[in-house]
Chain A
Amino acid sequence: MLNKKLPLAETIYQLRTIEQAILYDTILSISKAEEEDTISFLLDEYEKEKLNYPFQPPEFETKAALWAAKTIYFATQFLINRKETVKDFDNFLPTYNSAINPSAVLSADLCLRFLPFLLNEFSCIDPEDVVIPILEGFLTTFHYSSIGYDLKTDYQQLNLDILKQNNCLEQLYLNRITEKKALPFVEISFIKQRLMANFGDYQKVFWTDFELINNRDL
């Protein structure tokens, strides 16, 4: 069933449909055509998810989506393939070098949302792994995908300006914090205010512990 010629497309398809990643015995290179395939698949997926987005959803951003797909693919392969040395990581896992706007954040999230699970796998195998800081760096930039994972950074330093630009992304951000009960984010006063506005009178119904965090500040 596996088509060995399309490692990226296969991995992303499996990841998005059954939430499982494929490990290959060597790191396979990716052809241009395969990138196109992956992009059109991700675009479909984005259109489906867009239906569930509040307000006016931003457009799909090809570059960010492809970057995230490749990052996930290579990061997965690094779980077992370590023929490459530290200096090669930059080739396989480059940083995202375009503007980070709401479109980019949401498009990248299609794949990046699986990165926290992957990072947990890495730290199970070796907590000192050099890949971990690189991947955590990506999550700090695309912090929407990191919600629910402990970034070990100062959450007050996260750049939240992007949320203020776009109410769709802001609402999705708050939804995910609520869903994952991501406590570190609640300590950011902007986020806390917005969450309280979300809950209205039903704070206790939706998030029992929220009150505790609230009172700790008073």
Chain B
Amino acid sequence: MYYLEIQRADSELLASIRHWDNLKAAISDEIILVKDFTEEQIHSSLLRQIPGIKLYELREQLLFFKGSLLPSKKLPSALLWSPIARALPIQLPKYNLNFFGIQEKVIIKLVPTDNVRTSFALLSKLEIVEKSIVVLPEIRVKSLQWVVLEKRALFLGTPLLPFKGITYWRLNNFLLPTGYEFELPLTSGIVEDLLNRGKENWILVQNDNSCIVIPKNDFKQLSLSSFRLSNKQVF
């Protein structure tokens, strides 16, 4: 049985563990006591980050400092234990009836991320593709879809072709540069509703936050002849 003690004035510091709903808390004079920690919780870094806490072990109604052989004090009697969420209530800010900021706009933009995503699309310059595509085995090529974007070619599908270019990962119907994600991920659904109501398009978002909407029907199966014929038209 572990007990945590913290000064009442520092109660806000417990915010980071308030969501552990197995905890019980009690308030006595100037201190707050918390009990019912699991073994895992007591060793977690979340707990150790809180400054000014004292951890006790309870043996025979005496509180021992964690790891100490001598008791430091008695467990105060007549404590009222209640779930931590109730013992430490949250005060919500008051609703601002005079808020006039509704004209404000949210800017949709990409931010770098550490999350690793599998690439799904590749954007490559046509002249690079032209040189390298003729040496590829058919099997690498035929499972892919492709479209020409001005002087670049966009390939959809995996495994990606071994060309130099920019890779994209897939988020629903968005293609985002690998290593980037939306700054506000929840807005992606709203943006999609605005740009792509029927889900008939791919939306290619570029690093400069601009985007290209490409109808899915415009994609064709990739083959050498498809590439050669299209390439002739572009140049």
**Chain A residues within CB distance 8 Å of chain B:** 48, 51-55, 171, 174-175, 178-179, 198-202, 205-206
Contacts and interface: CB of A to CB of B under 8 A. Distances in A.
Contacts of B225: 48, 51-52
8 contacts: A51-B224, A51-B229, A52-B224, A55-B134, A178-B139, A179-B139, A198-B139, A199-B137
A174 B134 contact: no
A198 B135 CA distance: 10
Contacts of B228: 51
A55 B135 contact: yes
B46 to A, nearest CB: 40
B200 interface: no
B137 A178 contact: yes
B159 A54 contact: no
Interface string B127-148: 0000000111111100000000
Contact of B159 (A51, A55, A198, A202): A202
Interface in B181-232: 223-225, 228-229
B159 A205 contact: yes
Nearest to A168: B134
Nearest to A55: B134
A206 B139 CA distance: 7
A203 to B, nearest CB: 11
Contacts of A179: 138-139
A211 B134 CA distance: 27
Contacts of B140: 198, 202
A175 B134 CA distance: 13
A174 B229 contact: no
B223 A52 contact: yes
| In the complex, the 10 A-B pairs of residues with the closest C-beta atoms, listed nearest first | A51-B225, A175-B138, A52-B225, A198-B137, A52-B224, A202-B159, A54-B134, A178-B139, A206-B139, A51-B228
Interface in B117-168: 134-140, 159, 162
Given A52-B223, A52-B224, A205-B159, 19 more contacts: A51-B228, A51-B229, A54-B134, A54-B135, A54-B138, A54-B224, A55-B134, A55-B135, A171-B135, A175-B137, A178-B138, A178-B139, A198-B139, A198-B140, A199-B137, A200-B162, A201-B159, A202-B140, A202-B159
